[in-house]
Homo-oligomer: A and B are copies of this chain.
Amino acid sequence: MQSKILSRRDLAFLLYEWLDVESLTQRPRFADHSRETFDGALDTAERIATDLFATHNKKNDQNEPHVVDGKVVLVPEVKAALDAWSQAGLLAASQDYDYGGMQLPCTVEKAVVAWCKAANIATAAYLLLTGANANTLLKTATPLQVERFVRPMLAGEFFGTMCLSEPQAGSSLSDITTRAVPDPVEGPEGERQYRLAGNKMWISGGEHELAGNIVHLVLAKIPDAEGRLIPGVKGISLFIVPKYVLDAEGKPGERNDIVLAGLNHKMGNRGTTNCLLNFGEGQFKPGGRAGAIGYLVGQPHQGLANMFHMMNEARIGVGMGATVLGITGYLHALDYARTRLQGRHPAQKDPAQPQLPIVEHTDVRRMLLAQKSYVEGALALVLYSARLVDEQRTAPDEAVRTRAGMLLDFLTPITKSWPAQWCVEANSLAIQVHGGYGYTREYNVEQFYRDNRLNPIHEGTHGIHGLDLLGRKVSIQQGALFQALGEEIGRTVARGSDVPGDVAAYAEQLDAAWRRVVEVTQALYGAGDMNKTLANASLYLEAVGHVVIAWMWLEQAIVAHAGLARAERDEERDFYRGKLQACRYFYRWELPKVTPQLALLAQIDTTALDMQDAWF
């Protein structure tokens, strides 16, 4: 039976036939690897995801974390799944051998992680936060900090969090007020110790009993000599603040001054504890006095920069989460459509004839095709972005590395936001295919829809990414990032133009769309008023996003066209035809949507800018 979590065939198509990850094994870092080791990791991920993650996805949703005697209680299956994942070495899959890792390429690692996310996004979150935390520290922490905090995280002994937001500071991180004051007492091996006080909101994985310790990465401000906090992002520093202070041997010891102030109860992603944490209120007194003990990471006032080191990758991670929820919803809808009998063909006038599987109805096929075009387009973009990470890190040629970094920077807001928008839409269509059954918790698709609705909100809202793309990524380095993307699209167009038939027509359509993007971008920057330029930044993000996904579909169509010519078995031919038909769907149904969007952008529309509060 085909998995309803993810499609191995599609992953193989993207990884091997398109992105050629096998070629990475030529590079020293990946020299021990081969397609067999990649597939081995994917096999393991699929097995654990199927046996231990998917099996408690609904239970997790229906038995939300809750507090008993001051401790957060989760269903026991969460720990079992996480432990199995760590023990299989998958938590550290892309890390150095030296840290117990597998040194998998980022592209393969993302495909590995996709399995546990698709099977159970809420349980997977604990792993991902821990990984993001470890990656941040590996960039800037001292060797001692790496030894004491990162190694146990990569071994699955400690878990990690990211503590950025505060109740009064979400999108506007410059307004955080958590204070970090140098402690007279020295930390381990002479490390400077701080005492933190403040409230941190939306902390996923913020409190639980899943691991021996929780390593909080906390943004806070060091007051000046007069005790004042520096306004703005410049005042922000980064700290490690563990739930339990480590003893000299690195074992969790005294309880730190961090208190669970309340759990948030979400629409979806219910299995992930999410909470408000109070630091330094004095309920615990580590070292004999109030104040949460923390250790500075990197330089003071560089907190945001240090935290954002891992942002590109974390945002690809959000894009991947959104994508795979879309994929599993699509696979569930497809399975349902093939088995649910209802109605007859319009031409069939005899009601005594048996009912048909609903996949026979054109409108159901439209809904499945739309889902396929969204989720496989999104998956291509996410894996392409991961491939850029690999290029940026390990390409032998520095120019290639630089260029990959530029493309990655430009694409990141899209890789995060496009799947978050359109794979929720895919999940809505998966419900619609199920009819009334899809609206019930007796089936699975409504949970995917609820789980996925988080993705346009966290790791930067949709609006924030629009501003990032149009206000920053388009213009930095004199537009070199934007231009680099245009060149890449141009190359694909050139290759596509050589393929006979529909693919060449798509290439032409994409070429025209990108030229229009260039014109509109120039018009937006020619407006002479950044307020007006940025007024429709979200629309710009959406329009460019659609063009980028069209590019991803042209890339896939070129490969599928070649695959179809080469294929010997019916099953293989069907796979490639499906790819080509989904591409056709995207070019006929989706890409044309950008025409009115770009027309509106070209007019530097001020409808929202002109709207007054009093008129609502």
Contacts and interface: CB of A to CB of B under 8 A. Distances in A.
Contacts of A461: 432, 435
A442 B264 contact: yes
A446 B449 CA distance: 12
A83 interface: no
A421 B165 CA distance: 33
A1 to B, nearest CB: 15
A170 interface: yes
Contacts of A233: 351
A436 B466 contact: no
Interface stretch (A84-92, A180-188, A338-346): A338-346
A585 B607 contact: yes
Interface in A417-437: 424, 428, 431-432, 435-436
A267 B342 CA distance: 23
Interface string A433-454: 0011011111000100110011
B265 A441 contact: yes
Interface string A291-307: 00000000000000000
B534 A346 contact: yes
Interface centre among A172, A454, A538 (most CB of B within 10 A): A172
A171 B355 CA distance: 12
Nearest to A201: B436
B232 A172 contact: no
Nearest to A230: B351
A463 interface: yes
A600 B592 contact: yes
Contacts of A360: 613
A577 B614 CA distance: 9
B537 A574 contact: no
Given A175-B355, A435-B170, A608-B363, A615 B578 contact: yes
B435 A171 contact: yes
B613 A343 contact: no
Interface in A355-387: 355, 357, 359-369, 372
A202 B436 contact: yes
A543 interface: no
Nearest to A338: B613
A441 B266 contact: yes
A516 to B, nearest CB: 14
A346 B334 CA distance: 46
Contacts of A527: none
B608 A366 contact: yes
A359 to B, nearest CB: 5
A457 B440 contact: no
Contacts of A63: none
B596 A369 contact: no
A462 interface: yes
Contact of A593 (B446, B538, B593): B593
Contacts of A352: 231-232
A84 to B, nearest CB: 29
Interface string A158-175: 000000010011111011
A338 B454 CA distance: 23
A435 B457 contact: yes
B351 A174 contact: yes
B457 A428 contact: no
A439 B599 contact: no
A584 interface: yes
A581 B606 CA distance: 11
A399 interface: no
A458 interface: yes
A192 interface: no
B607 A588 contact: yes
Interface centre among A454, A457, A530, A599 (most CB of B within 10 A): A457
A592 B584 contact: no
A615 B368 CA distance: 11
A529 to B, nearest CB: 10
A397 interface: no
Nearest to A363: B463
Interface string A6-20: 000000000000000
Contact of A369 (B165, B175, B369, B607): B607
A430 to B, nearest CB: 12
A31 interface: no
A347 interface: yes
Given A577-B612, A588-B607, A608-B369, A363 B436 contact: no
A231 B585 CA distance: 37
A485 B457 CA distance: 41
Contact of A596 (B372, B596, B616): B596
A471 B233 CA distance: 59
Nearest to A614: B574
A599 B266 CA distance: 41
Contact of A343 (B171, B438, B439): B171
A364 B609 CA distance: 10
Closest 3 CB pairs of A and B: A232-B351, A578-B615, A592-B596
27 contacts: A168-B342, A171-B342, A172-B355, A174-B351, A231-B352, A232-B352, A265-B442, A266-B439, A266-B441, A267-B446, A346-B530, A357-B613, A362-B608, A363-B537, A365-B608, A365-B611, A368-B616, A432-B456, A439-B457, A449-B453, A574-B615, A577-B615, A578-B616, A589-B600, A589-B605, A592-B596, A592-B599
Given A357-B613, A432-B457, 12 more contacts: A169-B342, A170-B436, A264-B440, A267-B439, A346-B534, A359-B616, A363-B466, A364-B463, A366-B608, A369-B611, A585-B608, A592-B599
